[in-house]
C-alpha cells in the first residue's frame, strides 16, 4: 500500500472525507446494533423506536457515499490502490446499509416481543452475540482504516465463532419450542433476530475481505473456516 500523499492534495482530502463517512456509518450501525439488543433485553420500546428511526441516517449516508465515490471516479480517474479504495467504499457502504436494515428489523421484532412473555434467558444470549458481532464490525472497519492485512484476516477467521454462537441459539430456541408450544411465536421472532445478527457478522467478514482486496488487489482465495450447521438443521 501507498502512504505517500498525492501531488494533488485535494485528492487526498477527497479520499479521506469519503472514508471518514464510512467510519461514521459503521459507528452508527454498531451503536444501533447494541441499542437494539439492549432494547430487546430490557424491553425498552422507546430505545427500539430510536433505533428504527436512526436507520434513515444510515441510508442517507450510503447515498452520499455513493455520490461522492461516483464523483471521485469521474473527476480524478483513480488508478490502482486509489481505484480499489473508491470501489471498496461503495461495497462497504452497501454492506453497512444492509446491516442497518437488520438492526432496524431487530428493533421492530423487539417491540413485538415486548408484548409476549419472556422465553428463558434468550435475550441475554442475543445480546452476547450482538456484542460479538459489533466487535467484528469494529475490527473490520479498524483494519480498513489502518490497511491492516493481519487484522482483516483475523476478523475473517473469527466469523466461525459467531456461527457457533448462532448454532447454540438455534438449539436453545428449538428446545424452548418443544418444551412449550406457547413459546413458538416468541422463539420464531428470536430466531429471525439471531439469524439476522449472524448475517450482520457475515457482512463484517465481507468488509474484512474488501480490506484484503484493497491491500493485495485480490480477494482471499482459500475459503474461510466455517462452523458446521447444527445437526437438527440439516435435512434428512
Cα 49 from Cα 31, distance rounded (Å): 14
Site string for another protein, 84-123 (x = CB under 8 A): x---------------------------------------
For residue 5, state whether it binds another protein (rule: CB under 8 A).
yes
Please select the residue that binds another protein; options are 81, 105, 164, 185, rule is CB under 8 A: 81
For residue 11, state whether it binds another protein (rule: CB under 8 A).
yes
Of 204, 199, 175, 202, give the one whose Cα is nearest residue 187: 175
The residue (of 192 and 213) whose beta carbon lies closer to another protein is: 213
The residue (of 11 and 192) whose beta carbon lies closer to another protein is: 11
For residue 4, state whether it binds another protein (rule: CB under 8 A).
yes
The residue (of 1 and 229) whose beta carbon lies closer to another protein is: 1
Which 211-230 positions form the footprint of another protein (CB under 8 A)? 217-218
Cell reading at 156: 475473517
| Least distance between another protein and beta carbon 74 (Å) | 12
CB 123 within 8 A of CB 191: no
Cα 196 from Cα 184, distance rounded (Å): 18
For residue 232, state whether it binds another protein (rule: CB under 8 A).
no
- From the CB of residue 213, how many other CB atoms can be counted at a distance below 10 Å? 17
Of 173, 166, 162, 182, give the one whose Cα is nearest residue 224: 162
Cα 134 from Cα 38, distance rounded (Å): 13
For residue 74, state whether it binds another protein (rule: CB under 8 A).
no
Cell reading at 164: 457457533
- From the CB of residue 188, how many other CB atoms can be counted at a distance below 10 Å? 13
| Least distance between another protein and beta carbon 215 (Å) | 11
> Where on the chain is the footprint of another protein (CB under 8 A)?
2, 4-8, 11, 77-84, 217-218
Amino acid at each position: 500500500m501507498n502512504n505517500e500523499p498525492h501531488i494533488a492534495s485535494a485528492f487526498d482530502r477527497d479520499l479521506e472525507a469519503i472514508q471518514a463517512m464510512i467510519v461514521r456509518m459503521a459507528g452508527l450501525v454498531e451503536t444501533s446494533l447494541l441499542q437494539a439488543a439492549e432494547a430487546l433485553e430490557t424491553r425498552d420500546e422507546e430505545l427500539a423506536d430510536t433505533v428504527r428511526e436512526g436507520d434513515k441516517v444510515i441510508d442517507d449516508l450510503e447515498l452520499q457515499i455513493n455520490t461522492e465515490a461516483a464523483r471521485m471516479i469521474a473527476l480524478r480517474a483513480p488508478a490502482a490502490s486509489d481505484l480499489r479504495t473508491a470501489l471498496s467504499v461503495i461495497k462497504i457502504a452497501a454492506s453497512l446499509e444492509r446491516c442497518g436494515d437488520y438492526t432496524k428489523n431487530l428493533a421492530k421484532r423487539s417491540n413485538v416481543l415486548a408484548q409476549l412473555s419472556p422465553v428463558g434467558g434468550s435475550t441475554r444470549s442475543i445480546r452476547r452475540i450482538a456484542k460479538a458481532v459489533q466487535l467484528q464490525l469494529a475490527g473490520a472497519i479498524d483494519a480498513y482504516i489502518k490497511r491492516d492485512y493481519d487484522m482483516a484476516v483475523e476478523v475473517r477467521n473469527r466469523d466461525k465463532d459467531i456461527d457457533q454462537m448462532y448454532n447454540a441459539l438455534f438449539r436453545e430456541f428449538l428446545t424452548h419450542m418443544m418444551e412449550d408450544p406457547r413459546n413458538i411465536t416468541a422463539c420464531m421472532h428470536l430466531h429471525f433476530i439471531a439469524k439476522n445478527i449472524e448475517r450482520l457478522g457475515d457482512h463484517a467478514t465481507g468488509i474484512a475481505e474488501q480490506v484484503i482486496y484493497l491491500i493485495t488487489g485480490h480477494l482471499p482465495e482459500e475459503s474461510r473456516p466455517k462452523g458446521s450447521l447444527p445437526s437438527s438443521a440439516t435435512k434428512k
